[in-house]
Structure 1
Amino acid sequence: MEHLDQKRKITIMISIMAAMLFAALNQTIVGTALPRIIAELGGIEYFSWVFTIYMLASSVTAILVGKLSDIYGRKPFILIGIGMFIIGSFLAGLAGSIVELIIYRGIQGFGGGMILSTAFTAVGDLFSPRERGRWQGLMSSVFGLASVFGPTLGGYIVDHTDWHWVFWIFLPVGFVAFALIWWLFPSAERKEGETVDYFGSVFLTLTMVPMLLAFSWAGTKYEWGSTEILGLFGASLAALAIFIMIERRVTSPVLPLLLFQNRIFTISNLVGFTMGAGMFGAVMYMPFFVQGVIGTSATASGFVMMPMTLSMVVASSLSGQLTTKTGKYKLLALAGVLVMAAGMFSMSFMTTGTTNTIAVINMIIVGLGLGIAFPIFTLTVQNAVDQNLLGVATASAQLFRQLGGTIGVAVMGTIMSHRITEKMGQLAAESGMGAVVQRDPQLSQKLSVLQNPQILMDPAKLARIEASLPPELKELFGKLILLLREALSYSLSGVFLAGALTVFFAFLLTFFLKEIPLRTSNRFKPEAEEKSGKTFAIREQADNS
Structure 2
Amino acid sequence: MEHLDHKKKITIMIAIMSAMLFAALNQTIVGTALPRIIAELGGIEYFSWVFTMFMLASSITAILVGKLSDIYGRKPFILIGIGVFTVGSLLAGFSTSIFELIAYRGIQGLGGGLIMSTAFTAVGDLFSPRERGKWQGIMGSVFGLASVFGPTLGGWIVDNADWHWVFWVFLPFGIVAFILIWSLFPSVEKKPGEKVDYVGSLFLTTTIVPLLLAFSWAGSKYEWASGQIIGLFLATIASLAIFILVEKKAKSPVLPLDLFKNGIFSLANIVGFILGAGMFGAAMYIPFFIQGVIGESATASGLIMMPMTLSMVAASTIGGQFMTKTGKYKMLAITGLAVMAVGMFSLSAMGPSTSVTMVVVNNILVGLGLGMSFPVFTLIVQNAVSQHYLGVATASSQLFRQIGGTVGVALMGTMMNVRMNEQMNEGSQGAGDLAKNPELAQKLQGLDPQVLMDPERLSQIQQQIPPQFQEAFSAVVRMLQDSLSYALTGVYFTAALIIIVGVVLTFFIKEVPLRTSQRTEEKKEEEAV
C-alpha distance in 2, partners of 1:36/1:366? 24
Residue 395 of structure 2 corresponds to 395
Please report the RMSD computed on the Cα atoms of aligned residues, expressed in angstroms: 3.2
Greater shift in the superposed pair: 394-403 or 476-485? 476-485
Percent identity (aligned): 67
Q: Residue 209 in 1 paired to residue 209 in 2?
A: yes
Are 1:352 and 2:360 matched, yes or no?
A: no
* CA–CA distance in structure 1, aligned partners of residues 357 and 380 of structure 2: 36
SS of structure 2 residue aligned to 1:304:
helix
Q: Deviations over 1:175-199 (max 9, x none)?
A: 4433333333333232223221110
2:327 and 2:92 mapped to 1: Cα distance?
Answer: 44
**How has the CA–CA distance of structure 1 residues 509 and 461 changed in structure 2, closer, same or farther, with 3 Å as cutoff?**
same
Q: Is the 8 A contact 1:15 1:177 kept in 2?
A: yes
For 1:507 and 1:186, locate their aligned partners in 2 and report how far apart those are by CA, in whole Å. 39
Alpha-carbon distance between aligned partners in 1 of 2:477 and 2:54, rounded to the nearest angstrom: 36
CA distance in 2, matches of 1:492, 1:84: 34
Count of residues in correspondence between the two structures: 529
State how 1:457-476 maps to structure 2 within 5 Å. 457-476=453-472
Contact 2:48/2:410, CA 8 A, preserved across alignment: no
Measured against aligned partners, the alpha-carbon deviations of 1:35-88 in whole angstroms (never above 9, x if no partner) come to 898999999999877655543332211110001111122222223323433455
In structure 1, C-alpha distance between the alignment counterparts of 2:436 and 2:472, rounded to whole Å: 14
Per the alignment, in what secondary structure is the counterpart of residue 469 of structure 1? Answer: coil
What does 1:356-505 align with in structure 2 at a 5 Å threshold?
356-425=356-425, 428=427, 444-450=441-447, 452-505=448-501
Residue of structure 1 equivalent to 2:194: 194
Residue 540 of structure 1 corresponds to none
- Structure 1 window deviating more from structure 2 (476-485 vs 62-71): it is 476-485
**Whole-angstrom CA distance in 2 between matches of 1:421 and 1:203:** 38
TM normalised by structure 2 equals: 0.90
Residue identity matched to 1:119: A
Rounded to whole Å, the distance in 1 between the matches of 2:67 and 2:397 is: 13
C-alpha distance in 1 between matches for 2:133 and 2:10: 14
Cα distance in structure 2, aligned partners of 1:36 and 1:437: 26
Q: CA deviation at 1:248?
A: 1.6
State the Cα distance separating 1:339 from its structure 2 match. 0.3
- Partners of 1:386 and 1:524 within 8 A in 2: no
Q: 1:151 to 1:351 in 2, by over 3 A?
A: closer
Q: Does 1:133 align with 2:129?
A: no
- Structure 1 residues 527-542: aligned runs within 5 Å: 530-533=526-529
Letter in 2 for 1:464: Q
SS in 1 for 2:374: helix
Of stretches 432-441 and 384-393 in structure 1, the one that deviates more from structure 2 is: 432-441
- TM-superposed deviation, 1:22: 1.4
Structure 1: gaps (5+ residues): 534-545
What residue is the counterpart of 2:511 in the other structure?
Answer: 515
Change (3 A) 1:417 1:470: same
Matches of 1:399 and 1:133 in 2, distance apart? Answer: 20
Q: What amino acid is aligned across from residue 348 of structure 1 in structure 2?
A: S
1:323 aligns with 2:319: no
Secondary structure at 1:4 match in 2: coil
- 1:515 is paired with a residue whose SS is coil
Structure 2 Cα separation of the partners of residues 45 and 352 of structure 1: 22
Instruction: Flag structure 2 segments of 5+ consecutive residues without an equivalent.
Output: none
- Letter aligned with residue 215 of structure 1: F
C-alpha distance in structure 1 between counterparts of 2:415 and 2:165, whole Å = 38
**Partner of residue 235, structure 1:** 235
CA distance in 1 between counterparts of 2:457 and 2:40 reads 20
2:336 corresponds in structure 1 to 336
Measure, in 2, the Cα distance between the counterparts of 1:421 and 1:279. 24
* Paired position in structure 1 for 2:266: 266
**Residue 205 of structure 1 aligns to a residue in which SS?**
helix
SS at match of 2:322: helix
Deviation of 1:342 after TM superposition, in Å, equals 0.7
- TM norm structure 1: 0.87
Question: 1:101 offset after TM fit, Å?
Answer: 7.0
Paired AA for residue 71 in structure 2 = I
Task: Specify the alignment match of 1:24 in structure 2.
Answer: 24
